[in-house]
Structure 1
Amino acid sequence: MTNNLIMKSLPMVASVLGSKYGVKVAIGGKDAYTDGNTIHLPALPLECSETLIGLARGYIDHEAAHIRETRFDWLRLANLTPLEMHVWNTFEDWRVEHRLARLFPGCRSNFTWLIRHLFGDTSEKVADPAMAILNWLLLSVRAWDVPSLNGQRDDVGNFVESHYPGLTGRLNHVLEKVHAYCDSTQDCILYAREVVSLLKEKVASLPRQNGESKTGKSGKNGVSDELPLDALNRLIQADDIDLPEGLGEALAASLRKESPKELDESLRVARLGTKTTKPLDPEDVTATRRASIALRTQLQGLLQSSVLTRSMVGRHGRLDARQLHKVSVADARVFKRTGRKVGINTAVHILLDCSGSMRKRIKLTTQVCHAVAKALDAIDGINVAVTAFPAGAPSNGGNGNDRAPTVCPILAHGERMHDKFVVSATGCTPLGEAIWWTLQQMQPLTESRKIALILTDGDPDSFPAARNAIEDGRRFGVEIYGLGITSETITKLLPNHSRTINDLSELAPVIFGMLRGALVK
């Protein structure tokens, strides 16, 4: 799977970055947030623009940096005021991003793009001189990495100086220490308190004008009419709701705006859920063994012929009398050596539909699934896994509003084969979401070939979402096939890559006919 393709696909971006940073990333639900372990993105459009992927990538980088680096326990103990918290966040955002960029240099370009995208607009002017102080602090910090913001920073700084002479100079001394020495969450807390202390000192030093008071209430109507002292007093006493959004909040709001209202238009990735599995009954084991042996015999015969040795002509090996005529033309290729075709090196992931519509077919489906998995697992060079969908509630939590589709692994890649394949049939058919989850699991596998096999009987919850996942999967090099269980509905999604069976006895010839070309290609 080429990196260029992956970075243009939001689910794969989430998977790759999450694995790299050691965090979990979920896509689905209505909101963007972080619970301390998992970064949650809302359901997003099936067709993601470059800008949207850039925002999502930046959000993952930013929140992963906080999860890895911020000591939230220290922050809780500090008991900061809303203004101190806002200034702390400005400093801490920059600090944790720098720590992440040192570990993973590639994310530096993500942050640079994000800063330019969010802060590079010079058209909007802040009319409130006190709020302009926060804007100037933000631009000053971000200009350390993106010098193109220097002009905007200086314009805002001149505006602040016109109302609070000498303030930016004093604040610059703090910023110099932040840039040079800020190395922890505690450092950012101390420097944020120092900034707010300087603002309070400025309030005490400003001459009072008519209408101004120590309470910060001048009696004027509107921020533009407010006098500088009162504006600064109001800033110091501000609540959270009165202060600008932080970077994380601004990114979350941007992602929420992109979330589609209709399920058919949304891109979601299933999450790990829970589902009870039981061993197959003895009579089912006997039936699946027969089907599995028949399939394995056919596949092994096919694969054996694909790796037969053959003779090759070369410049070393055993002398081949039939090639001696080449000596007269100074061709040294007169030796024979044995060669071997490349053997199979394939990962196969089986998706088992156990939705409510499968109730009458679930016994046959689990038998088919076990027989195919067992036959493939017995062949050297095939790495097989099985995942059931849907499952129960997400095992990694959520904010209560997501109601995300789920999957439950029955057999993981690399796990020893077993017979606990019996599952109940209940719920909807989140096929697209399950395919995306499967693609995320297969992306880091080292096998040169990757195949997904869907066992199902009916339509997915969202046909566009399933089709989109299949198309993207193929772009990443994953071949996707479908096996209809007593139903030909799967042919609507996979018209040239699907078959149907009505009985376990049909399994071997049907699967062999469908996969023979894929396995030896």
Structure 2
Amino acid sequence: MSFPTRRKDMSKKRTIYSALPIVAAAYGEKLGVKVAIGNDDAYTDGKTIVVPNIPDDYPHMDAVWGYLAHEAAHVRFTDFGVERRRGLHAELSNVLEDCRIERAMMELFPGTSQTLNEVARYMAQAGHYEHVTDKEAPASILTGFCLYWLQTKAVGQSVLQPYLDSATPVFERVFPQGVVVRLNALLRKAVNTKSTAEVTSLADQIIKMIEEEKEKEEQKPQNGQDGNNQQNAGGNQPQNSQGGSGNDQNQGPDANGGDQQGKDQKQDDANGKSDPKGQGDQGKSDTDGGSKAGQSQAGGNSDAAKQDAAKMLQQVLNAGAGDLRGDAHDALKAELNRVAQDKGDSSYMTVRSAVNTQDNPAVGKSLVGDVKSTTSKIRTQLYGLVQASQRVAHRNQRSGKRVDARKLHRVVTGDTRVFLKPEAKKRPNTAVHILVDMSSSMAYKAANGKERQDIAREASLAISMALEAIPGVNPAVTFFGGNRNQPVFSVVKHGDTVQNRAGRFGFKATGGTPMAEAMWYAAFELTKTREERKMLIVVTDGQPQSAPACRSVIDLCERSDVEVIGIGVETTAVSGLFQKNIVIDDAAALQRTLFKLMERSLTAFAA
């Protein structure tokens, strides 16, 4: 059997195994989330992750998979119904939640740690992560410090350590010591959060802590003045340490409501060494005269500095969108969207999930009865042909252990090639996926009076039952039709026993011809099979809804050594799509055509 051919002049670099829809579908299946391919829009709606149509030659695909892993963590672990108040609360909640879900994802799927670390590395390289500076709004400094502390210390993304190193001194110069010490202690609680609700509660605790520290700063000027008056009057009473937070600072942070424990933890943890900031800011006031914390403990200007600190903390509490850093992942999404818009392949499609066709045992029994004799005949013929093609042949060579008595006469002439060497034959080792068009036009009658859909389901059942009896052959059958919401229907999956699925072949023809969606699905299923050789056979009676999308997946399959064959039932449309194609003028010839096709294919491979 020969095929008309369509010339190809394309690069061999792109394959079905590296194609965005296939890899994205594999990630989604492994991580337990739904993944869709969009045109130029990256987003998550809480149920489905949309990946924009990034071109195959995009040099940072690891960042794409990192984005996918991060969003998959949100889909799996984030409760999108938990309230987050606008402003500081939402920003803190997002930073804390990113830490929690990435830790949870790494624990569930250890392999994602490398992917998430890679996207962090790329985001730093691309400038999506930015160093914290004194020029930022205080709220941005605080949330930036939280982000880099959590991603470095809790998630383990060491690539962000330089960002934490630069954020820490800025944060400690701008914020009072009480905030510094207590925030470090609160951030350590992030590793123990188990839900989005606990995360938002922790954000509330951080905000409450800032409110408390603001009140302390507001009380310091009067209390500090009282303390000075008492000292000027000669009163040096130790019990006054309980009455004013100004004296608390002089005596050390132990008197500051239990902050000593947080201080100790900060000394042990921050940057892997003790931090002199935790011992108080008495020495800092001389060297960092511009810092809020140092000024709050300085001499004559302490009142004004303390008022400034309180005002600054109030600004943090009132922070709006312009005062906050925002989500760095939004910058990554925007970049991916631009790349997809400029260079994306619009012919790529989402690998759709196939719905199992309804199982009707009565219909299955009837169909098996109708094709039983044909199936038996095809099975016997195919099996015999494959066995014959696999018989071990021999060739003669000059050395060996087994002499070919029929060639001994060669020795007289000096030809020593009288030893036999067996030549092993290849087994079929083939995965075959049969796609059957079940659009509404398949309800038309053929020349023999039967509807095309009846002929197609009987032929696909007969050939798949025959194929599974041959060792090394792994068949699957999928129907396509319906509508855009559900275009693909699984009848027999690779590895299923065909006869046990016979009741699913009763699917009725309906809808259009979503051939491209079906081919992406079949290609994805074939990539998961272990067989060395892979075949995709498409049976159709009309034009696909998207010819460019069909050509895209066909080309990828052919580059990947997946044999793709189109069978046109009373249509020549397949000749414009498939490099290998067969056109049959009568639907009744479909079964015979499939048999001849498999006969040629299996015996040629084994020969």
For the superposition of Structure 1 and Structure 2, which TM-score range results when normalised by the shorter chain? 0.7 to 0.9
The answer to whether structure 1 residue 270 and structure 2 residue 361 are counterparts is no
Cα distance change of structure 1 residues 510 and 102 upon mapping to structure 2, 3 Å threshold: same
Q: Within 5 Å, which residues of 2 pair with 1:73-472?
A: 83-84=88-89, 86-101=91-106, 104-120=109-125, 121=127, 122=130, 127-144=136-153, 145-166=156-177, 169-170=180-181, 173-174=184-185, 177=188, 182-185=191-194, 192-206=203-217, 232-233=313-314, 235-236=316-317, 245-246=326-327, 265-273=347-355, 275-276=357-358, 288-289=371-372, 292=375, 295-311=378-394, 340-360=424-444, 361-391=452-482, 404-418=485-499, 419-420=502-503, 421-472=505-556
| 1:395 corresponds to | none
Contact kept in structure 1, 2:356 and 2:491, CA below 8 Å = no
Cα distance change of structure 1 residues 71 and 467 upon mapping to structure 2, 3 Å threshold: closer
CA RMSD of aligned residues (A): 4.5
CA deviation profile, 1:90-141 (whole Å, cap 9, x unmatched): 2342344345446655433322231133344248977322123112221333
Counterpart code for 2:215 = A
Counterpart code for 2:564 = I
Cα distance change of structure 1 residues 51 and 206 upon mapping to structure 2, 3 Å threshold: farther
Q: Residues of 2 paired with 1:488 and 1:260: CA distance?
A: 35
Distance apart, 1:415 and its partner CA: 2.1
CA deviation profile, 1:23-80 (whole Å, cap 9, x unmatched): 1333246763264xx54325x4373453674344113322344556x4759x95xx77
- 1:450 aligned counterpart, secondary structure: strand
Q: Residues of 2 paired with 1:117 and 1:202: CA distance?
A: 37
CA deviation profile, 1:417-466 (whole Å, cap 9, x unmatched): 24432332222322222212222222222222211111112222222211
Distance apart, 1:284 and its partner CA: 7.2
Higher mean Cα deviation, 481-490 or 470-479? 470-479
Q: Residues of 2 paired with 1:7 and 1:467: CA distance?
A: 16
- 1:429 aligned counterpart, secondary structure: coil
Cα distance change of structure 1 residues 48 and 207 upon mapping to structure 2, 3 Å threshold: farther
Distance apart, 1:295 and its partner CA: 4.4
Query: Which of 11, 14, 20 is equivalent to 2:21?
Result: 11
Contact kept in structure 1, 2:383 and 2:470, CA below 8 Å = yes
Cα distance change of structure 1 residues 119 and 52 upon mapping to structure 2, 3 Å threshold: closer
Contact kept in structure 2, 1:308 and 1:341, CA below 8 Å = yes
| 2:66 corresponds to | 58
Cα distance change of structure 1 residues 269 and 444 upon mapping to structure 2, 3 Å threshold: closer
Q: Highest CA radius of gyration, 1 or 2?
A: 2
- 2:571 aligned counterpart, secondary structure: coil
The answer to whether structure 1 residue 501 and structure 2 residue 584 are counterparts is yes
| 1:398 corresponds to | none
Higher mean Cα deviation, 249-258 or 421-430? 249-258
Higher mean Cα deviation, 102-111 or 411-420? 102-111
Counterpart code for 1:268 = T
Normalising by the residue count of structure 2, what TM-score does the alignment of the two structures yield? 0.65
Unaligned segments of structure 2, at least 5 residues: 1-12, 220-307, 445-451
| 1:224 corresponds to | none
Contact kept in structure 2, 1:295 and 1:507, CA below 8 Å = no
Q: Residues of 2 paired with 1:124 and 1:359: CA distance?
A: 67
Q: Residues of 2 paired with 1:472 and 1:263: CA distance?
A: 13
Counterpart code for 1:16 = A
- 1:185 aligned counterpart, secondary structure: coil
CA deviation profile, 1:333-380 (whole Å, cap 9, x unmatched): 997686652322111111112223433243333333233323323333
Query: Which of 34, 37, 49 is equivalent to 1:40?
Result: 49
Q: Residues of 2 paired with 1:388 and 1:130: CA distance?
A: 56
Q: Residues of 1 paired with 2:17 and 2:580: CA distance?
A: 27
Contact kept in structure 1, 2:139 and 2:323, CA below 8 Å = no
State, as a whole percentage, how many aligned pairs show the same letter. 25
